[in-house]
Amino acid sequence: MTQQQNQFMSTPAAEAAPAPVSFVAPRRTLMGPGPSDVHPRVLAAMAQPTIGHLDPAFVGLMDTIKQQLRRVFRTQNELTMPVSGPGSVGMEACFVNILEPGDTIVVCENGVFGGRMKQVAQRCGAKVVAVDDPWGRAIDPAKVDAALTQHPDAKALAFVHAETSTGALSDAATLAEIARKHGVLTIVDAVTSLGGVPLEVDAWQLDAVYSGTQKCLSAPPGLSPVTFSARAVEVAKQRKTPVQSWFMDINLVTGYWSGGAKRAYHHTAPVNALYGLHEALCLVEEEGLENAWARHRRVHEQLVAGLEGLGLKMLVPAAERIPQLNAVMIPDGVSDEAALRSRLLTEFGLEIGAGLGEFAGKVWRIGLMGQSCTEAHVQRCLDALKSVLGR
């Protein structure tokens, strides 16, 4: 036997891989900034057999979902569809289709997600004019008006309707009216607002609006409903430069999401996720959109009363709060807020959110979104907080 053969024969055999074990998700009560609890009907819908993304039955479902989204967005916009990806993909889809290098855009920043809008606009090569407001407060319309007056070359105004990082709700109708006065488009983050508070795309004449499925719609994360006005679509069609993202170019993807049975292949849509979105939208329609708005407001008021009864203080003034995202000041006696949230999760199966940005370690974010917005959720949260804070 040669030395080489001897070396090969003496090499120890690879250790056997451990037997695979399927993942079993723990049961949680989701009361953070998203995702929210998912109804069993939505989970059951997603468990149906997968079919082809060009199957006639699936094409029919696509048309139904578009109609459902138009109703929840309160719009007749032809280009209304779910983008394959989370809300951040919807955000980029709106920006990259409207902005070209050298364009000027006014971006409102009163929290983390306004700052993210600014970063995306800069990556598009746009000149960003920032309108800064204190975190935890609504956007000041007077500042927006002044910025657009000072920059008559602006192409668009971008703002977050419901700032998830702070719980502040801005006056989208007034901001859109100011934008129209100056002849600019609006790009609106409605990730947390859609389905939870009034959002009137047509009545307010909003141009490019994006959201997410995992908040007040209570579907799993991974899809981003978007809607583009006819004016925004025309701007995208008349671009002088190609959209920087092939995947998010609405001039291409609409060939797949356009009406009728004949579709141009663009990408393989997440079939089962769209089953889930359809069922979640059915639940919204069964309740009634206005009833859902009222429920979020009513349950929010119950939560605030209970939190104040525990001696906790809210971050945002009452007139500017998002009912479905409640930022609560961490009391002085809590030295390790992360450990407290960990106890809520391990002992009570309850998830609440940490603060972001300048409010990291200073606030908790308690979500009341979609299926997680019930009196039972409020009581469970208050009982758990009372227990852990009392130690």
CA distances from 79 to 44, 156, 215 (A): 29, 19, 22
CATH architecture of the domain with residue range 40-285: 3-Layer(aba) Sandwich (3.40)
Residue 12 has what pLDDT? 54
Asked whether residue 391 carries a pLDDT value surpassing 70, the answer given is: yes
Confidence category of residue 262, pLDDT binned at 50, 70, 90: confident
Q: What kind of fold does domain 29-36+289-389 have according to CATH?
A: Aspartate Aminotransferase, domain 1 (3.90.1150)
Residue 258 has what pLDDT? 82
CA 88 from chain centre, in angstroms, equals: 7
Confidence category of residue 260, pLDDT binned at 50, 70, 90: low
Give the contacts of 117 (CB within 8 A, at least 6 positions apart).
91, 95, 107, 109, 158, 159, 160, 187, 189
Q: Where are the domains of the chain?
A: 29-36+289-389, 40-285
Asked whether residue 259 carries a pLDDT value surpassing 70, the answer given is: no
Report residue 246 as tokens: 């092939």
Q: Each residue of 284-316: pLDDT tens digit?
A: 999 999 999 999 999 999 999 999 999 999 999
Q: Share the mean pLDDT of the chain.
A: 95
pLDDT (average), residues 367-387? 98
Asked whether residue 8 carries a pLDDT value surpassing 80, the answer given is: no
pLDDT (average), residues 91-117? 98
Pairing verdict, β 127-132 and 104-109: parallel
Q: Each residue of 146-158: pLDDT tens digit?
A: 999 999 999 999 9
Give the contacts of 303 (CB within 8 A, at least 6 positions apart).
326, 366, 368, 378, 381, 382
Asked whether residue 324 carries a pLDDT value surpassing 80, the answer given is: yes
Residue 17 has what pLDDT? 84
